Amino acid sequence: MLHSSQMFSFLKQTAARAALVSFGSILLAEMGDKTQLATLLLSAHSQNLGVIFCGAAAALISTSFIGVWAGAWVARVIPPRWIKTSAGVGFLLIGLSLLWGSLPIAG
């Protein structure tokens, strides 16, 4: 049985790991996407960079909140196994579709 200090340490490590993974994933996913390019263009045309930064940050926080809320709702409604299976099938279908589109026989 874990003591409360051991449990707290475990939870702290787990939370730190989750925060680091989510930060890294979102940071890499956002690099060079259309949102970052839009922010770059807005910054190039504006003298008020602080306002552009605050607006872009608020938008990213809002979309992240919606994603977390929707993910929590989906996890309550749909069993995790179905989510994993559906995601796997979806990625497989997308991959096959891209592969089929790149074949010379595909019109």
Domains in the chain, number: 1
Per-residue pLDDT reduced to its tens digit, 59-92: 989 999 999 999 999 989 999 899 999 999 999 9
Q: Does residue 28 belong to any structural domain of this protein?
A: yes
56, 39 Cβ separation under 8 angstroms: yes
Task: Identify which of 51, 54, 56, 26 has the alpha carbon closest to the alpha carbon of residue 39.
Answer: 56
Token pair recorded at residue 89: 């099938």
Q: Which domain holds residue 38?
A: 20-102
Q: What is the pLDDT of residue 68?
A: 92
**Which pLDDT belongs to residue 82?**
93
Is 87 inside a domain boundary? yes
88 found inside a domain? yes
- Is 90 exceeded by the pLDDT of residue 9? no
In a domain, 76, yes or no: yes
Quote the CA–CA distance of 10 and 73 in Å, as a whole number. Answer: 26
Distance CA 95, CA 88 (A): 10
| pLDDT per position as a tens digit, 30-50 | 777 888 889 989 999 999 999
Q: What is the pLDDT of residue 51?
A: 95
The answer to whether residue 15 is domain-embedded is no
Is residue 93, in this structure, part of any structural domain at all?
Answer: yes
List the structure tokens of 54. 């605050």
Structure tokens belonging to residue 6:
């051991």
Confidence of residue 10 (pLDDT cuts 50, 70, 90): low
* Helix (H), strand (E) at residue 73: helix 49-77
**Considering just the CA atoms, what is the radius of gyration of the chain in Å?**
20
